[in-house]
Amino acid sequence: MDEPPRSVITADPSPPRFMSHHRPLEFRQPRVVLVAGGADTRQILMTWAERVGGSVSSFKDLPEALEQPLHECEAVVVDAAVTWHALSASLDRLRAAMNTTPLLVITKSTAAEDASAGLTAGDEDFLVLPYDTEELVGRLERLLVRAGHSRPDSVLRYEDLEVDVVDRLCRVGGDRVRLTPKELGILEALLRVAPRTLSRQQLLEEVWTEDTERGRKALDVHMTHLRKKLAGAYSRASVSTVRGTGFRVGDVRVELPTHLVLEAAPDAMLVADEDGEILMVNAMLESMFGYERSEMLGASVETLIPERMRGGHRRQRSRFDDAPAPRRMGTGLELLGRHRDGTEFPVDVSLSPIETHQGRYVIAAVRMRIE
Protein backbone atom coordinates (compact mmCIF):
# COMPACT_ATOMS: atom_id res chain seq x y z
CA MET A 1 0.00 0.00 0.00
CA ASP A 2 1.12 3.64 -0.54
CA GLU A 3 0.88 4.56 3.14
CA PRO A 4 1.22 2.34 6.19
CA PRO A 5 -1.99 1.12 7.79
CA ARG A 6 -2.93 2.47 11.16
CA SER A 7 -2.63 -0.86 12.90
CA VAL A 8 -0.50 -3.69 11.53
CA ILE A 9 -0.79 -6.96 13.42
CA THR A 10 2.32 -9.11 13.80
CA ALA A 11 1.43 -12.79 13.73
CA ASP A 12 1.94 -14.86 16.85
CA PRO A 13 4.37 -17.65 15.87
CA SER A 14 2.61 -20.12 18.18
CA PRO A 15 -0.56 -21.30 16.41
CA PRO A 16 -3.64 -21.74 18.59
CA ARG A 17 -4.98 -25.23 19.19
CA PHE A 18 -8.04 -24.54 17.05
CA MET A 19 -5.99 -23.75 13.93
CA SER A 20 -6.53 -26.05 10.94
CA HIS A 21 -4.06 -28.93 10.76
CA HIS A 22 -3.89 -28.77 6.97
CA ARG A 23 -0.79 -27.25 5.50
CA PRO A 24 -1.85 -23.96 3.88
CA LEU A 25 -1.66 -23.18 0.21
CA GLU A 26 1.26 -21.18 -1.10
CA PHE A 27 0.26 -17.56 -1.68
CA ARG A 28 2.20 -14.55 -2.91
CA GLN A 29 2.54 -12.75 0.45
CA PRO A 30 -1.18 -11.90 0.68
CA ARG A 31 -2.16 -8.67 2.41
CA VAL A 32 -5.49 -8.99 4.19
CA VAL A 33 -7.47 -6.13 5.73
CA LEU A 34 -9.67 -6.97 8.72
CA VAL A 35 -12.45 -4.53 9.58
CA ALA A 36 -13.98 -4.47 13.10
CA GLY A 37 -12.53 -7.89 13.87
CA GLY A 38 -13.18 -9.74 17.10
CA ALA A 39 -10.32 -11.31 19.07
CA ASP A 40 -10.90 -14.84 17.74
CA THR A 41 -11.06 -13.71 14.13
CA ARG A 42 -7.88 -11.66 14.52
CA GLN A 43 -6.00 -14.58 16.07
CA ILE A 44 -7.08 -17.02 13.35
CA LEU A 45 -6.09 -14.64 10.55
CA MET A 46 -2.78 -13.75 12.22
CA THR A 47 -1.81 -17.41 12.53
CA TRP A 48 -2.83 -18.12 8.96
CA ALA A 49 -0.90 -15.08 7.68
CA GLU A 50 2.25 -16.14 9.53
CA ARG A 51 2.07 -19.56 7.92
CA VAL A 52 1.64 -18.28 4.37
CA GLY A 53 4.05 -15.34 4.68
CA GLY A 54 1.35 -12.67 4.53
CA SER A 55 0.17 -9.83 6.74
CA VAL A 56 -3.05 -8.65 8.38
CA SER A 57 -3.97 -4.99 8.81
CA SER A 58 -6.72 -4.33 11.36
CA PHE A 59 -9.07 -1.34 11.55
CA LYS A 60 -11.65 -0.71 14.26
CA ASP A 61 -14.50 0.28 11.95
CA LEU A 62 -15.53 0.85 8.35
CA PRO A 63 -14.80 4.63 8.20
CA GLU A 64 -11.22 4.02 9.34
CA ALA A 65 -10.75 1.24 6.79
CA LEU A 66 -12.14 3.41 3.97
CA GLU A 67 -9.25 5.83 4.46
CA GLN A 68 -6.88 3.12 3.16
CA PRO A 69 -6.23 2.10 -0.48
CA LEU A 70 -8.22 -1.12 -0.14
CA HIS A 71 -7.94 -1.89 -3.85
CA GLU A 72 -4.25 -2.64 -3.31
CA CYS A 73 -4.71 -5.49 -0.82
CA GLU A 74 -5.53 -9.08 -1.71
CA ALA A 75 -8.67 -9.50 0.44
CA VAL A 76 -10.92 -7.67 2.90
CA VAL A 77 -12.61 -9.45 5.81
CA VAL A 78 -15.47 -7.59 7.55
CA ASP A 79 -16.23 -9.06 10.98
CA ALA A 80 -19.32 -6.96 11.55
CA ALA A 81 -21.11 -8.89 14.31
CA VAL A 82 -24.39 -7.40 13.04
CA THR A 83 -27.15 -8.82 10.86
CA TRP A 84 -26.77 -8.78 7.09
CA HIS A 85 -29.66 -6.32 6.80
CA ALA A 86 -27.91 -3.83 9.11
CA LEU A 87 -24.61 -4.17 7.23
CA SER A 88 -25.75 -4.24 3.60
CA ALA A 89 -26.19 -0.47 3.32
CA SER A 90 -22.51 0.10 4.18
CA LEU A 91 -21.15 -2.45 1.73
CA ASP A 92 -21.73 -0.32 -1.37
CA ARG A 93 -19.20 2.26 -0.09
CA LEU A 94 -16.77 -0.54 0.71
CA ARG A 95 -17.12 -2.12 -2.73
CA ALA A 96 -16.46 1.20 -4.42
CA ALA A 97 -13.20 1.58 -2.51
CA MET A 98 -12.14 -2.04 -3.06
CA ASN A 99 -12.76 -2.23 -6.80
CA THR A 100 -12.28 -5.97 -7.51
CA THR A 101 -10.63 -6.96 -4.21
CA PRO A 102 -12.23 -10.15 -2.79
CA LEU A 103 -14.58 -9.58 0.15
CA LEU A 104 -15.51 -11.96 2.98
CA VAL A 105 -18.26 -10.79 5.35
CA ILE A 106 -18.89 -12.34 8.78
CA THR A 107 -22.40 -11.57 10.07
CA LYS A 108 -24.75 -12.55 12.85
CA SER A 109 -27.32 -15.26 12.26
CA THR A 110 -29.61 -14.25 9.42
CA ALA A 111 -31.45 -15.84 6.56
CA ALA A 112 -28.89 -17.29 4.17
CA GLU A 113 -30.91 -16.19 1.16
CA ASP A 114 -30.72 -12.57 2.32
CA ALA A 115 -26.94 -12.69 2.47
CA SER A 116 -26.65 -14.58 -0.81
CA ALA A 117 -28.83 -11.99 -2.54
CA GLY A 118 -26.56 -9.25 -1.23
CA LEU A 119 -23.45 -10.70 -2.86
CA THR A 120 -22.69 -9.13 -6.21
CA ALA A 121 -19.98 -11.37 -7.71
CA GLY A 122 -17.89 -14.53 -7.37
CA ASP A 123 -15.23 -12.55 -5.50
CA GLU A 124 -17.55 -12.11 -2.50
CA ASP A 125 -18.62 -14.56 0.19
CA PHE A 126 -20.25 -14.51 3.64
CA LEU A 127 -19.95 -16.48 6.86
CA VAL A 128 -22.57 -16.64 9.63
CA LEU A 129 -21.65 -16.57 13.32
CA PRO A 130 -20.75 -18.81 15.02
CA TYR A 131 -18.32 -20.13 12.42
CA ASP A 132 -15.86 -23.01 12.28
CA THR A 133 -12.17 -22.03 12.13
CA GLU A 134 -11.40 -24.23 9.14
CA GLU A 135 -14.42 -22.80 7.32
CA LEU A 136 -13.14 -19.24 7.80
CA VAL A 137 -9.66 -20.10 6.50
CA GLY A 138 -11.10 -22.24 3.69
CA ARG A 139 -13.45 -19.53 2.44
CA LEU A 140 -10.72 -16.90 2.51
CA GLU A 141 -8.33 -19.18 0.61
CA ARG A 142 -10.98 -19.98 -2.01
CA LEU A 143 -11.51 -16.26 -2.64
CA LEU A 144 -7.74 -15.76 -3.01
CA VAL A 145 -7.44 -18.72 -5.38
CA ARG A 146 -10.30 -17.46 -7.55
CA ALA A 147 -8.64 -14.06 -7.70
CA GLY A 148 -5.39 -15.66 -8.89
CA HIS A 149 -3.33 -15.03 -5.75
CA SER A 150 -2.21 -18.63 -5.13
CA ARG A 151 0.72 -20.41 -6.67
CA PRO A 152 -0.17 -23.24 -9.07
CA ASP A 153 0.32 -26.11 -6.58
CA SER A 154 -3.17 -25.93 -5.10
CA VAL A 155 -3.73 -29.31 -6.83
CA LEU A 156 -1.20 -31.96 -5.82
CA ARG A 157 -0.62 -34.77 -8.35
CA TYR A 158 1.19 -38.08 -8.63
CA GLU A 159 0.50 -40.38 -11.58
CA ASP A 160 -3.33 -40.49 -11.93
CA LEU A 161 -3.85 -39.39 -8.31
CA GLU A 162 -4.62 -35.79 -7.39
CA VAL A 163 -5.75 -33.86 -4.31
CA ASP A 164 -7.37 -30.44 -4.58
CA VAL A 165 -6.27 -28.78 -1.33
CA VAL A 166 -8.73 -25.89 -1.76
CA ASP A 167 -11.93 -27.88 -2.28
CA ARG A 168 -10.60 -30.80 -0.19
CA LEU A 169 -11.23 -33.42 -2.88
CA CYS A 170 -9.35 -36.52 -4.04
CA ARG A 171 -9.58 -37.85 -7.58
CA VAL A 172 -8.15 -40.86 -9.41
CA GLY A 173 -8.16 -40.54 -13.18
CA GLY A 174 -10.60 -37.63 -12.84
CA ASP A 175 -13.13 -39.62 -10.77
CA ARG A 176 -13.75 -38.58 -7.18
CA VAL A 177 -12.64 -40.89 -4.36
CA ARG A 178 -14.41 -40.15 -1.08
CA LEU A 179 -11.93 -39.82 1.79
CA THR A 180 -12.40 -38.83 5.40
CA PRO A 181 -10.70 -35.58 6.54
CA LYS A 182 -7.89 -37.55 8.22
CA GLU A 183 -7.34 -39.78 5.17
CA LEU A 184 -7.22 -36.67 2.99
CA GLY A 185 -4.78 -35.01 5.39
CA ILE A 186 -2.46 -38.05 5.29
CA LEU A 187 -2.54 -38.19 1.50
CA GLU A 188 -1.96 -34.43 1.16
CA ALA A 189 1.08 -34.57 3.44
CA LEU A 190 2.58 -37.49 1.50
CA LEU A 191 1.88 -35.95 -1.91
CA ARG A 192 3.68 -32.75 -0.95
CA VAL A 193 6.95 -34.68 -0.66
CA ALA A 194 6.26 -37.54 -3.12
CA PRO A 195 8.00 -39.75 -3.97
CA ARG A 196 10.20 -39.06 -0.95
CA THR A 197 9.46 -40.68 2.41
CA LEU A 198 7.74 -38.98 5.33
CA SER A 199 8.52 -40.38 8.78
CA ARG A 200 5.74 -41.53 11.08
CA GLN A 201 6.46 -38.65 13.48
CA GLN A 202 6.42 -36.08 10.68
CA LEU A 203 3.10 -37.43 9.45
CA LEU A 204 1.62 -37.27 12.94
CA GLU A 205 2.73 -33.66 13.35
CA GLU A 206 1.31 -32.71 9.94
CA VAL A 207 -2.11 -34.33 10.38
CA TRP A 208 -2.75 -34.46 14.11
CA THR A 209 -0.68 -31.37 15.09
CA GLU A 210 -0.96 -31.09 18.90
CA ASP A 211 -2.85 -34.35 19.47
CA THR A 212 -0.11 -36.66 18.19
CA GLU A 213 -0.67 -39.29 20.91
CA ARG A 214 -4.22 -39.85 19.70
CA GLY A 215 -2.96 -39.89 16.13
CA ARG A 216 -0.32 -42.48 17.02
CA LYS A 217 -3.09 -44.94 17.86
CA ALA A 218 -5.24 -44.12 14.83
CA LEU A 219 -2.67 -43.65 12.06
CA ASP A 220 -2.42 -47.28 10.99
CA VAL A 221 -6.22 -47.64 10.84
CA HIS A 222 -6.59 -44.55 8.64
CA MET A 223 -3.65 -45.70 6.50
CA THR A 224 -5.30 -49.09 5.90
CA HIS A 225 -8.58 -47.47 4.83
CA LEU A 226 -6.74 -45.03 2.55
CA ARG A 227 -4.84 -47.84 0.81
CA LYS A 228 -8.04 -49.81 0.26
CA LYS A 229 -9.80 -46.85 -1.32
CA LEU A 230 -6.91 -46.10 -3.69
CA ALA A 231 -6.67 -49.77 -4.67
CA GLY A 232 -10.44 -49.92 -5.21
CA ALA A 233 -10.21 -46.93 -7.55
CA TYR A 234 -7.49 -48.72 -9.59
CA SER A 235 -5.02 -45.92 -8.93
CA ARG A 236 -1.55 -46.26 -10.43
CA ALA A 237 -0.24 -44.71 -7.20
CA SER A 238 -0.14 -46.37 -3.81
CA VAL A 239 0.84 -45.53 -0.24
CA SER A 240 3.55 -47.90 0.94
CA THR A 241 5.42 -48.46 4.19
CA VAL A 242 9.18 -48.01 4.08
CA ARG A 243 10.38 -50.31 6.84
CA GLY A 244 12.09 -48.45 9.65
CA THR A 245 11.63 -45.08 7.92
CA GLY A 246 8.02 -44.10 7.33
CA PHE A 247 5.54 -43.84 4.46
CA ARG A 248 5.65 -42.73 0.84
CA VAL A 249 3.47 -42.34 -2.23
CA GLY A 250 4.86 -44.31 -5.16
CA ASP A 251 3.92 -46.43 -8.14
CA VAL A 252 1.89 -49.61 -7.68
CA ARG A 253 4.44 -52.37 -7.93
CA VAL A 254 2.81 -54.61 -10.53
CA GLU A 255 3.68 -54.86 -14.19
CA LEU A 256 0.14 -55.49 -15.40
CA PRO A 257 -2.81 -53.50 -14.00
CA THR A 258 -4.79 -55.76 -11.66
CA HIS A 259 -8.18 -54.84 -13.12
CA LEU A 260 -7.03 -55.96 -16.59
CA VAL A 261 -6.06 -59.34 -15.16
CA LEU A 262 -9.48 -59.70 -13.55
CA GLU A 263 -11.35 -58.74 -16.69
CA ALA A 264 -9.33 -61.22 -18.77
CA ALA A 265 -10.15 -64.15 -16.44
CA PRO A 266 -12.66 -66.76 -17.69
CA ASP A 267 -14.52 -66.72 -14.34
CA ALA A 268 -16.41 -64.23 -12.21
CA MET A 269 -13.69 -62.68 -10.02
CA LEU A 270 -13.39 -60.48 -6.96
CA VAL A 271 -10.59 -59.25 -4.69
CA ALA A 272 -11.29 -58.81 -0.96
CA ASP A 273 -9.18 -57.75 2.01
CA GLU A 274 -8.66 -59.64 5.28
CA ASP A 275 -11.89 -58.19 6.67
CA GLY A 276 -13.93 -59.50 3.76
CA GLU A 277 -14.45 -56.07 2.19
CA ILE A 278 -14.78 -56.21 -1.60
CA LEU A 279 -12.12 -54.09 -3.32
CA MET A 280 -12.34 -55.16 -6.98
CA VAL A 281 -14.76 -57.10 -9.17
CA ASN A 282 -14.90 -57.93 -12.86
CA ALA A 283 -17.77 -57.63 -15.33
CA MET A 284 -18.60 -61.35 -15.14
CA LEU A 285 -19.24 -61.07 -11.39
CA GLU A 286 -21.53 -58.09 -12.00
CA SER A 287 -23.50 -60.14 -14.51
CA MET A 288 -23.67 -63.25 -12.31
CA PHE A 289 -24.94 -61.47 -9.18
CA GLY A 290 -26.88 -58.60 -10.77
CA TYR A 291 -25.18 -55.82 -8.78
CA GLU A 292 -23.55 -52.72 -10.23
CA ARG A 293 -19.82 -52.53 -9.55
CA SER A 294 -20.32 -49.41 -7.41
CA GLU A 295 -22.78 -51.33 -5.18
CA MET A 296 -20.27 -54.10 -4.46
CA LEU A 297 -17.12 -52.10 -3.89
CA GLY A 298 -16.73 -51.53 -0.16
CA ALA A 299 -19.45 -54.07 0.70
CA SER A 300 -18.87 -57.33 2.55
CA VAL A 301 -18.47 -60.54 0.57
CA GLU A 302 -21.37 -61.88 2.66
CA THR A 303 -23.61 -59.64 0.53
CA LEU A 304 -23.29 -62.23 -2.23
CA ILE A 305 -24.57 -65.24 -0.23
CA PRO A 306 -27.97 -66.04 1.34
CA GLU A 307 -28.52 -64.33 4.68
CA ARG A 308 -29.04 -67.61 6.59
CA MET A 309 -25.52 -68.73 5.57
CA ARG A 310 -23.62 -65.56 6.42
CA GLY A 311 -22.67 -66.50 10.00
CA GLY A 312 -21.17 -69.80 8.87
CA HIS A 313 -19.37 -68.07 6.03
CA ARG A 314 -17.70 -65.65 8.44
CA ARG A 315 -16.43 -68.58 10.49
CA GLN A 316 -15.09 -70.21 7.32
CA ARG A 317 -13.26 -66.99 6.45
CA SER A 318 -11.73 -66.85 9.92
CA ARG A 319 -10.39 -70.40 9.56
CA PHE A 320 -9.00 -69.55 6.13
CA ASP A 321 -7.20 -66.51 7.59
CA ASP A 322 -5.56 -68.75 10.19
CA ALA A 323 -4.00 -70.92 7.45
CA PRO A 324 -4.19 -69.07 4.11
CA ALA A 325 -3.39 -71.16 1.04
CA PRO A 326 -4.85 -71.64 -2.45
CA ARG A 327 -7.87 -73.92 -2.15
CA ARG A 328 -11.43 -74.59 -3.19
CA MET A 329 -13.80 -73.03 -0.70
CA GLY A 330 -15.95 -75.27 1.48
CA THR A 331 -14.94 -78.59 -0.03
CA GLY A 332 -17.81 -81.02 0.55
CA LEU A 333 -20.25 -78.23 1.42
CA GLU A 334 -23.17 -76.85 -0.56
CA LEU A 335 -22.28 -73.30 -1.59
CA LEU A 336 -24.96 -70.91 -2.75
CA GLY A 337 -24.77 -67.45 -4.28
CA ARG A 338 -27.51 -64.86 -3.91
CA HIS A 339 -28.56 -62.70 -6.86
CA ARG A 340 -29.55 -59.07 -6.26
CA ASP A 341 -33.19 -60.04 -6.90
CA GLY A 342 -33.05 -62.63 -4.08
CA THR A 343 -32.79 -65.80 -6.17
CA GLU A 344 -30.23 -68.37 -5.07
CA PHE A 345 -27.97 -70.57 -7.23
CA PRO A 346 -25.23 -73.17 -6.56
CA VAL A 347 -21.62 -72.04 -7.04
CA ASP A 348 -18.05 -73.30 -6.83
CA VAL A 349 -15.47 -70.89 -5.35
CA SER A 350 -11.67 -71.04 -5.47
CA LEU A 351 -9.57 -68.85 -3.18
CA SER A 352 -6.02 -67.57 -3.68
CA PRO A 353 -4.35 -65.42 -0.98
CA ILE A 354 -1.75 -62.88 -2.06
CA GLU A 355 0.71 -61.07 0.20
CA THR A 356 1.65 -57.50 -0.76
CA HIS A 357 3.45 -54.57 0.87
CA GLN A 358 -0.03 -53.24 1.65
CA GLY A 359 -1.23 -56.39 3.43
CA ARG A 360 -2.94 -59.67 2.54
CA TYR A 361 -5.69 -59.88 -0.07
CA VAL A 362 -7.77 -62.79 -1.33
CA ILE A 363 -8.72 -63.39 -4.96
CA ALA A 364 -11.91 -65.40 -5.37
CA ALA A 365 -12.96 -67.11 -8.61
CA VAL A 366 -16.69 -67.94 -8.73
CA ARG A 367 -18.34 -70.38 -11.12
CA MET A 368 -22.04 -71.15 -11.36
CA ARG A 369 -22.51 -74.88 -10.88
CA ILE A 370 -24.64 -76.57 -13.52
CA GLU A 371 -26.65 -79.42 -12.00
| Cβ partners under 8 Å of residue 280, min gap 6 | 231, 232, 234, 258, 259, 262, 269, 270, 271, 297
Q: What is the pLDDT of residue 283?
A: 93
When pLDDT is cut at 50, 70 and 90, the band that residue 78 belongs to is confident
Higher pLDDT, 139 or 172: 172
Per-residue pLDDT, 347: 94
Residue 186 has pLDDT above 70, yes or no: yes
% of the chain exceeding 90 in pLDDT = 16
136-162 pLDDT, tens digit each = 877 887 777 776 665 545 788 888 888
Instruction: Enter the CATH code of domain 154-251.
Output: 1.10.10.10
Residue range(s) occupied by CATH 3.30.450.20 in the chain: 258-368
Most confident of 35-39, 201-205, 279-283: 279-283
pLDDT at site 130: 74
Contact between 353 and 359 under an 8 Å Cβ cutoff? The reply is no
Q: Residue 65: is its pLDDT beyond 70?
A: yes
Task: Mean pLDDT check: name the lowest of 28-32, 114-118, 246-250.
Answer: 114-118
Q: What is the pLDDT of residue 15?
A: 35
Q: Which CATH superfamily, name and number, covers 8-150?
A: Response regulator (3.40.50.2300)
Q: Which fold has domain 258-368?
A: Beta-Lactamase (3.30.450)
Q: How far apart are CA 149 and CA 30, in angstroms?
A: 7
CA–CA dist 371, 369 (Å, integer): 6
Question: 44-48, 100-104, 185-189, 314-318: which range is least confident on average?
Answer: 100-104
Q: Among 18-32, 46-60, 246-260, 287-301, whose mean pLDDT is lowest?
A: 18-32
Tell which phi-psi region holds residue 325, choosing left (phi > 0), alpha (psi between -120 and 50) or beta.
beta
pLDDT digits (tens, 9 = 90+) for 328-354: 875 667 899 999 999 999 999 999 998
pLDDT at 302: 95
Mean pLDDT of the chain: 77
What is the per-residue DSSP string for 214-226?
A: HHHHHHHHHHHHH
For residue 130, the tally of other CB atoms under 10 A from its CB is: 9
Does a cis peptide bond (omega within 30 degrees of 0) precede residue 30? Answer: no
Which tops the pLDDT comparison, 131 or 224? Answer: 224
Quote the pLDDT of residue 61. 79
Domain with CATH 3.40.50.2300 in the chain: 8-150
Residue 326 has pLDDT above 50, yes or no: yes
- Report yes or no: 51 and 15 within 8 Å, Cβ to Cβ: yes
Residue 182, SS3?
Answer: helix
Worst-scoring range by mean pLDDT, 59-68, 114-123, 271-280? Answer: 114-123
